[in-house]
Structure 1
Amino acid sequence: MATRGITVNQIGYPPDARKTFICTGEGGTFEIVREADGRIVYRGETELPVYDEASGITVSRGDFTACTEEGGYFVRLHGETSASFAIANNPYAELHTGLLKSFYYFRCGMELEEPYAGPWKHAACHTAEGIVYGEPDRKHGSSGGWHDAGDYGKYTGPGAKAAADLLLAYEFAPQAFQRPVPLPETDGLAPDVLHECRYELEWLLKMQDERTGGAFHKLTTKQFPALDVMPEDDRAELYFMPVSAAATGCFAGVMALAARVYRPFDEAFASRCLAAAERAWEWLEGHPASPENPGFKNPADIATGEYGDPVDLDERYWAAGELFRTTGEAVYHEAFRKLAAETFPKYELGWADMGGYGTIAYLFGEKAKADGTLHASLEAGLLGVAERLARRCAEDGYLTSLRPEDYIWGSNMVLLNRAMLLLIAAKVSGEARYQALALEHVHYLLGRNVLDYSYVTGFGHRAVRHPHHRPSVGDGVEEPVPGLVSGGPNRGLNDDCMQEHLQGKAPAACFIDDELSYAGNEVTIYWNSPAVFVVSHFVK
């Protein structure tokens, strides 16, 4: 399918939102055409063209915010047409369910049955005990949780980020989770997002070393299986990799968060999560941060994802912030204040820089118990970051906060994490413009980008179809597993497929929809999770 020169959000727009399409070149008089009868419902002129550095082209924008009648439409300009899109009162409801349902497809250790999985069903996988690395006689149950990405590894830090995003999505936008997905656990009592998160949390609890309270860094085989291997056919031995401070901090943070969220639904589970978080904190206290600590490194015979992180102050900060918010105990407040005085990113939401989660925990905790000066400082810092992102949006041809240097491995995570931060800033400040800017990021994700791609499998007129995702490659089903967020353009061209096909491309155009492109077209739970958070805010 050819790339169109007129790009839109291929799902659609809410009637009361700003509505913009973007086209290559000079623009001119455009028409909004109703699909049902071919009637022109709106004519307008594009804005003055601007040069978009990230895509390396001149673009023009057309604003059709005045169109508010629900229905299906397309843009016509100079005889060319855009993808079709809807104007609808709740255009992202199905997308939201699909993004959340993807976590069910990532599940490990259980059969995915046809009533829930459809043609993407498969047998139970990775049900054997795992071996504690370096201790061949020490084995533990290891099944459950979510596969991390296009591979079948399971990683404590990235898993904690993904679960945290979903739990925060529910905390901030509970109205978006009223409809069942459905899942095998759907019971009409707890929302399905909490059933799905619990599947991961139960596995994360297995990652706590019962001897020390620290969290194992990851659980993987020694090598990745071939790209077409289904999960139930990956039978190599599984290994719990050594405890790390970064993993333990993430574990403590997400467990303290879970204790708070699950308390109204399951007191016993909430207490179990809190006890695990407190024990992990004890491990952190007994293993203080040190500049000499290199962080986790893969042993010489391990070739799976390392997720190395030499700085663990941000994970400790998150843990202290969540434990203080959940318990109100002074010991965690004091630890948080001390960590806040250290230098590390406090507004990032990536798996390596988790400080933003600690800041969110503190800003949305009980204000009467907070340190007023610190609270004000963190709030001002957050809004300062949001303002910088807003300025970037104003400078960008496609109205996002991504600059050329931001098109890295997983650029769509950068996109969505920033949209998350803008939404948090909207909550803190009450300024609706930040929420509107977050929606511009959603428009990019769903097709209003230079490549005319919806980066979510199964959603949009020109959605990614060939993700680097073993089940999608090996299952014999033509369509990929739906609802998966692709990593997106990567100017680093970090795989052979990108090197072969994308030399000389502008940063925003460094993407190929090919299953071999693991550095551009892989999928992960922690790219889907911020997408769920962001889209939740636009679901009624």
Structure 2
Amino acid sequence: MCGRCNLLRIKKAAAVLLVFLLTGCGAIQEEAPKTENIITSMEAEPELSYEVPASSANIFVNQLGYIKESTKVAVFCGKELPEEFQVIRKDTGEVVFTGCLENKGYDDGSKEYNSYGDFSGVCEAGVYYIEAPLVGRSYSFTIEDGLYERIFKEACKQYYYNRCGMTLTKQYANEVAHNACHTGKAVLKEDESVSLDVSGGWHQDEKGSKKVDRAAKSIGVMLLSYELYGDSFTDEMGIPESGNGVPDLLDEIKYEIEWLLKMQDKETGAVYSGVGIYEKNGGEGIYVEPAGQVSALAFAAALSKFSYLYQEYDEDYAAKCLEAAERAWQCADSEQGDKETEEWRFAAATELYRATGKQSVHKYVTRYLSGEAYGENMSDMVFWGCVTYICTRQSVKLELCEEIAGIFMQRAEEIAQEAAGSLFLAGGGNGQKNNQELLQNMMYLTTVDHMITNHEYDSVIENHLHYFLGRNEKAISYIDNAGERNYRTIDESMGIMKQFDANSKLVFMLSEIVGEHYH
């Protein structure tokens, strides 16, 4: 059965599931579907929620701004709230819009009232702020088309900024330009008499460490965003490879793939688990961490997926990657291991099956999906494998695909309900979720939105972007170069783009938003 037929049948099943889910809860109304017409401090263990001083604005907006024709909503909080608010042009002080506050409510926890102000009617390009009696004024914001494309480009370029082993020039890297680093040989941690060239790839933290499984996970997330929303990715992102006829995201990932290939033992197919930086004799040493089962399976998953998508541009290189992936797979112990190992085995098996069609690999996919409840607290690897399986052109077990679609649909509805019940319309606030969890939720919602094209989900996804850009309980913009109250003025480590794992999920979410608005 072809992949398109699989996906069409799954979409039909998903649509039935959506009707069931929507009609099964009286509090939810069905939305009409839309019409289809240097090292830059990527942290090793991101923690994106922080306590900050309580003295912040009482009018919460997206501090970057809004697309001209988009829905624009501000959140108001205070001991007392007025009846009206005004939108004021910053350069002239002119009042361009007066609106009424709606849906006033009272929060027992904060002992404050909260409300919403819709100013979607303001569409002229410019810089504005909102002012209201009793609560003051908001941070400023811009109304202009193209705003989200710029932060999408910046999110994609974070991996270029963190390239190891090459000089980044000011032409492409601006203030984070730096000379080539970590170009020397590394030694095996187990045997320092053996040296290896493991230069290249992306730094994952301030020290320059590089782990194979973390690299593979981010590669998987970004390649999935490319599969679903490929039109959002251009060949004009502003990296040295721009203009070569290959989408820059694939060029950037290929840079990381080159490093991953260096991490494979050419004789055995085993994959070293990472590169660490340590102090040695008053200087800096680089060691290669031992090979492992997880690193081999993560390697196999990432290179299989890349080979499948890259063959359109370079068949020979894609074949090289697939061969390396199969060798890593064969090297990995086939006996069942711990939870993480089996999750990576599942992801690798789905990608290898799609790329090769081998039934010997397919049995690992069906074994995993027929086992214990994989849908509970689904990891990135399992999510990755599930999406690949329902999209493959190879023959699949349709009942397993329908089960996956059902799990995705149920989770998407839960996320949408959580967002609708949140003050900031993004499933966050009041300590409910941190930014990592919200980004994880957006992976589900973005994928399901691609499957069924639902207007409500588009709105929820965009509301999460507003949340990350300042319309949140702390009035902080967590995105680089956006907002008067930016995370950099509080704590450098709070930025989403500075978190290796979180940034790939931001790319995923933005690919849908950019595709929705501009393609």
The TM tier, using the shorter chain, reads: 0.7 to 0.9
- Residue in 1 aligned with 2:473? 450
The structure in which a higher percent of residues are helix is 2
Contact 2:429-2:473 at 8 Å conserved across structures: no
Deviation of 1:465 after TM superposition, in Å, equals 1.8
- Residue in 1 aligned with 2:439? 416
Q: Which of the numbers 279, 291, 310 marks the counterpart of 1:243?
A: 291
- Residue in 2 aligned with 1:35? 90
* Paired residue type of 1:288: E
* Paired residue type of 1:362: Y
Identity across aligned pairs (percent)? 29
Deviation of 1:235 after TM superposition, in Å, equals 5.2
Q: Distance in 1 between matches of 2:451 and 2:159?
A: 29
Q: Distance in 1 between matches of 2:494 and 2:486?
A: 18
Q: Deviations over 1:376-411 (max 9, x none)?
A: 00000111111111121122222223476654xxx3
Is 1:255 aligned to residue 303 of structure 2? yes
Q: Which of the numbers 356, 362, 371 marks the counterpart of 2:389?
A: 362
- Residue in 2 aligned with 1:46? 102
Contact 2:220-2:302 at 8 Å conserved across structures: yes
Deviation of 1:27 after TM superposition, in Å, equals 3.3
Q: Distance in 2 between matches of 1:370 and 1:527?
A: 31
* Paired residue type of 2:81: G
Equivalence map 1:326-405=2 (5 Å): 326-343=355-372, 345-346=374-375, 353-366=380-393, 369-402=395-428
Contact 2:235-2:244 at 8 Å conserved across structures: no
Q: Distance in 1 between matches of 2:111 and 2:300?
A: 44
In structure 2, relative to structure 1, the CA distance for the partners of 1:358 and 1:39 (3 Å cut) is: same
Contact 1:51-1:397 at 8 Å conserved across structures: no
Contact 1:447-1:453 at 8 Å conserved across structures: yes
- Residue in 2 aligned with 1:61? 116
* Paired residue type of 1:537: E
Contact 2:429-2:472 at 8 Å conserved across structures: no
Q: Distance in 2 between matches of 1:257 and 1:347?
A: 24
Q: Bigger shift: 373-382 or 147-156?
A: 147-156
- What SS does structure 1 have at the residue aligned with 2:368? helix
Equivalence map 1:123-522=2 (5 Å): 123-178=179-234, 180-222=236-278, 236-284=284-332, 286-291=333-338, 311-343=340-372, 345-346=374-375, 353-366=380-393, 369-402=395-428, 407=433, 411-465=434-488, 513-515=490-492
Contact 1:221-1:236 at 8 Å conserved across structures: yes
* Paired residue type of 1:526: D
Deviation of 1:50 after TM superposition, in Å, equals 4.8
Deviation of 1:317 after TM superposition, in Å, equals 1.0
Q: Distance in 2 between matches of 1:197 and 1:46?
A: 46
Q: Distance in 2 between matches of 1:137 and 1:52?
A: 65
TM-score normalised according to structure 1 size: 0.78
- What SS does structure 1 have at the residue aligned with 2:284? coil
In structure 2, relative to structure 1, the CA distance for the partners of 1:143 and 1:365 (3 Å cut) is: same
Q: Distance in 1 between matches of 2:113 and 2:345?
A: 45
In structure 2, relative to structure 1, the CA distance for the partners of 1:30 and 1:120 (3 Å cut) is: same
TM-score normalised according to structure 2 size: 0.81
Q: Deviations over 1:84-104 (max 9, x none)?
A: 223333320111111111111
Q: Deviations over 1:482-503 (max 9, x none)?
A: xxxxxxxxxxxxxxxxxxxxxx
Contact 1:348-1:355 at 8 Å conserved across structures: no
Q: Distance in 2 between matches of 1:334 and 1:431?
A: 34
Contact 2:430-2:473 at 8 Å conserved across structures: no
Q: Distance in 1 between matches of 2:305 and 2:452?
A: 23
Q: Deviations over 1:129-148 (max 9, x none)?
A: 22222122222111101111
In structure 2, relative to structure 1, the CA distance for the partners of 1:402 and 1:39 (3 Å cut) is: closer
- Residue in 2 aligned with 1:526? 501
Q: Bigger shift: 261-270 or 521-530?
A: 521-530
- Residue in 2 aligned with 1:114? 170
- What SS does structure 2 have at the residue aligned with 1:49? strand
* Paired residue type of 1:389: I
Q: Distance in 1 between matches of 2:183 and 2:398?
A: 49
Q: Distance in 2 between matches of 1:61 and 1:265?
A: 49
Deviation of 1:43 after TM superposition, in Å, equals 1.3
Aligned length: 457
Tell me which of the two structures has the higher relative contact order, counting C-alpha pairs closer than 8 angstroms and 6 or more residues apart. Answer: 2
Root-mean-square deviation (CA, aligned residues, Å) is: 2.7
Runs of 4+ in 1 over 6 A off after TM superposition: 519-522
Provide structure 1 residue ranges, at least 5 long, that are not aligned to the other structure.
226-233, 292-309, 467-512
* Paired residue type of 2:403: S
Contact 1:9-1:443 at 8 Å conserved across structures: yes
In structure 2, relative to structure 1, the CA distance for the partners of 1:273 and 1:521 (3 Å cut) is: closer
* Paired residue type of 2:447: I
- Residue in 2 aligned with 1:5? 58
In structure 2, relative to structure 1, the CA distance for the partners of 1:116 and 1:420 (3 Å cut) is: same
Q: Distance in 2 between matches of 1:198 and 1:455?
A: 28
In structure 2, relative to structure 1, the CA distance for the partners of 1:56 and 1:137 (3 Å cut) is: farther
In structure 2, relative to structure 1, the CA distance for the partners of 1:340 and 1:11 (3 Å cut) is: same
In structure 2, relative to structure 1, the CA distance for the partners of 1:56 and 1:241 (3 Å cut) is: farther
Provide structure 2 residue ranges, at least 5 long, that are not aligned to the other structure.
1-52
Deviation of 1:248 after TM superposition, in Å, equals 2.1
Contact 2:264-2:270 at 8 Å conserved across structures: yes
- What SS does structure 1 have at the residue aligned with 2:306? helix
